[in-house]
Amino acid sequence: MKANEEKYRKVMEVLKKSEPVTASHDEIEGEVINRINYLPEEHKETFSIFSFLFGWTEIGWVRRSLVTASLFLVVIFVYQQSVIVKQLNWLSTQIVVNSERPVRTISSDFSGKLRFLRISGSRVPQQGSPVSEKQLDMLMDALDKLQADYDNLSKIIEENPELKEMIEKKLNEKNYIKVKL
Amino acid sequence: MIDIRLIEECRNGNLSNFRKVVEASTPFAFSVAFRMLGDEDLAKDVVQESMVIIWKKIGSIKSPEVYKTWLCRIVINKCYDEMRRKKRNPEYSQDDASWSRLSERIEDNTQDGLKNSEIAVIISGLTESLSPKQKAVFILSDIEEMTSDEVAGITGMSKLTIKANLYYARKSIRTMLQKYL
């Protein structure tokens, strides 16, 4: 074991002493210099163009300003996105009116509420309704019936000129204003 | 070995003295490359390529003091590439005369070193069962006499890995010595 160690140590000593040498140091240097001289043309040119165009990015304060500006833009972008998302969420909670029946002029606050309740259907929140659902249905039925009666009456009057003339006369006498529903 | 001031100048962009850097770096670079590859022509190519890389990137080293480690790292990496290529077309021949010469040197204890061809045969014979990384660790630690910190900086391995690889390499080389001597 010890002999083996000794042999190893001696071999290492010989190998350390035996420095590999080359007679062609000059050849290696010449070749390296040639390669280097050949390279710089493109290397230098590229470097000068790049330094001319983008050299300013190497300036410390410019670099720091750009970093600050980019961070600022990122913050603004995130803020804008959050505002947009918030607005979209708010809009999605709003009522969508989709009715083929034309909306007539709201003559009073109460009738406006009624019309609003009628066309909005189930989208109106329960706590916002001034009457119960059953009462509302009854009211709607009554309104529909009244509308139908009024339409029939108008039709009868239009068909009978004598009756129409008489009614207009009576209305004028009492200074009533004709209201078209 | 290599003048720190020269490296500092080159690092600061003054490459007019780069020839001197090449001149000073070539013997060490060639020694490492030759011991790794065992082939003079390949070692010369590796040195040339390494010096061109150094010329291109010398401005990026942190300080002139780390130049030697950096140079060695480039050379070793180039050697790994060559060894991978060589593995596909192995050219290996053992020569008894070289081992006889080594025995003579051990017994004589003379100061004469071995020839390049003998060094190549002996190192390749001793390290034939080692991986490229183990070979690098062995050459840098036991032949080039570098510290474990330097070897770690060159190979990128941890000290523990270096220790393990060196232990395995020494064990394997002792076995080879019994075989050849």
Residues whose CB is less than 8 angstroms from the CB of residue B68 and which lie 6 or more positions away in sequence, other chains included: B1, B2, B28
Per-residue pLDDT tens for A42-60?
555 555 677 777 777 777 7
Q: A10 CB near a chain B CB, below 8 Å?
A: yes
Judgement on whether residues B118 and B37 belong to the same structural domain of the protein: no
Per-residue pLDDT tens for A113-152?
666 666 665 555 555 556 677 888 888 889 889 999 999 9
Per-residue pLDDT tens for B122-155?
888 888 888 999 999 999 999 989 999 999 999 9
Residue B180's alpha-carbon distances to B22, B100, B108, B126, B128, in angstroms, are 38, 9, 18, 9, 12
Give contacts of B174 with chain A, Cβ < 8 Å: 4-5, 7-8
Tell me the three state secondary structure of residue B22. helix
- Token look-up 């035996």 returns A18
B153 to chain A nearest CA, in Å? Answer: 21
Per-residue pLDDT tens for B88-130?
555 556 667 777 777 777 777 666 777 888 888 888 888 888 8
Q: A41 CB near a chain B CB, below 8 Å?
A: no
Residue B173, domain CATH? 1.10.10.10
B9 to chain A nearest CA, in Å? Answer: 17
Say if CB B116 and CB B34 are below 8 A apart: yes
Judgement on whether residues B119 and B163 belong to the same structural domain of the protein: yes
Judgement on whether residues B3 and B86 belong to the same structural domain of the protein: yes
Residue B83, domain CATH? 1.10.1740.10
- What chain B residue is nearest to A36 in terms of C-alpha separation? B52
Percentage of chain A exceeding pLDDT 70: 70
Q: What are the backbone angles phi and psi of residue B130, rounded to the nearest 5°?
A: -95, 150
Task: Flag if A22 and B102 touch (Cβ within 8 Å).
Answer: no
B123 to chain A nearest CA, in Å? Answer: 8
The span from the CA of B99 to the CA of A49, in Å, is: 58
Say if CB A120 and CB A96 are below 8 A apart: no
- A129 located within any domain: yes
Q: Containing domain of residue B161, as a range?
A: 94-181
Give contacts of B113 with chain A, Cβ < 8 Å: 14, 17-19
